[in-house]
Amino acid sequence: MKGSILMAFNESSSSQSALDALVQIASCPEQSSITLLHVYRKPTGSEELMGKKFMQDAPTRIKEAMEKARLKLVDAGFRLDQIKLLFVETPYPTVADGIIDQFAKATYDLVVIGRKKMSKAEEFVLGDPSIKLVRALDGTAVLVVKQ
């Protein structure tokens, strides 16, 4: 695999699964450039109930997780100078909206996203970012890694 890759990333286990899958399938990592993207979305009421400290610490936790992901990619053969960390701190209504917007601002050959297991009810209420991406990025390869 070579080219330009946009990978949505956060501190979740589904993002870690997507990172692991990307590392495993990369055949020419030194020829690929990767943008690890974290998009902030407007917090939900339940997240606000977790407390201000939890919400304020989120950027630090995300940056630490992304730095670990960068090191994992380098260990797998990707070039450090070809790995970009992109933090979009302006909140979007949904993560998918942020990914689609950032995708439109650059050229990528592949978009990678992890997908957590959700019940049908959760999917109905919350929506599924991976489905929205596959539909919106028609004509672009989208790798959805199920956890």
Is residue 2 situated within a structural domain? no
> Domain range for residue 19?
7-146
Looking at the 3D structure of the chain, how many domains does it have?
1
Is residue 47 situated within a structural domain? yes
pTM: 0.82
Is residue 1 situated within a structural domain? no
Phi, psi of 89 (to 5 degrees): -90, -15
Is residue 61 situated within a structural domain? yes
Average pLDDT, consecutive stretches of 10 residues, N- to C-terminus, the chain (147 residues)? 85 91 85 92 61 68 94 94 92 90 93 77 62 89 88
For strand 32-41 and strand 3-8, is the pairing parallel, antiparallel, or unpaired?
parallel
Three-class DSSP category at 8:
strand
Token pair 């009810």 is found at: 121
- The CATH number of whichever domain residue 51 belongs to comes to 3.40.50.620
Is residue 39 situated within a structural domain? yes
Is residue 140 situated within a structural domain? yes
Closest CA to 128 of 140, 141, 138, 116: 116
